[in-house]
Amino acid sequence: MSLRRLPVEVCVHPQTVDLFDEVDRDYPEIKRQLLADFRQYVESGFERRPKRFGKVDLYTRPASILSAQLMHIHICMPPPNDFPAHLPVARMTCRRKEPHRDASLVYVRGECEDHRYCILGLLYPYAHERAQNNGLMLRLAALAREFRDNN
């Protein structure tokens, strides 16, 4: 007996669309492209990685957000740049010292409905610096927990 997989569902959280504002001004098509790439990546079981997608990581700070399972994907910026194909995925990370290249797509997966994903925003520029902002991370974690609890 084979288990039938449900179709992948991806949404953008309505309370965090502002986290796309800055990148939308500089690269008007990037949001649509990232969402399409993310959907394809998830539909492939994270096997067919888009060239601009790098390492996938769990946010771990502050420690209180661990239970939210708040994830991020390092994104190669600016478009149309991609990570070099010869690099191992574990080394495909953004450059802290180059803010215009430092980007992370933040998302969460449903707890029970594991075919459902919610994009919580794009941290860009200064993704690493923004991830050190406890207020922002606690806000994202609260929204992630809510999404997981309802999905």
Residue 2 resides in a domain = no
**Residue 3 domain flag:** no
Total count of domains within the chain: 1
Distance CA 92, CA 3 (A): 33
Range of the domain at 94: 9-150
Q: Residue 46: beta bridge partners?
A: none
End-to-end Cα, the chain, rounded Å: 26
Q: What is the pLDDT of residues 17-56, one digit of tens each?
A: 999 998 999 899 999 999 999 999 999 999 999 999 999 9
Residue 1 in any domain: the answer is: no
The radius of gyration of the chain's CA atoms, rounded to the nearest angstrom, is 15
Residue 138 falls within a domain, yes or no? yes
**What pLDDT, on the 0 to 100 scale, is given for residue 105?**
98
Sites in the chain below the pLDDT cut of 50: 1-2
pLDDT of residue 58: 97
To the nearest 10°, report the CA torsion of 69, 64, 22, 26.
Answer: -50
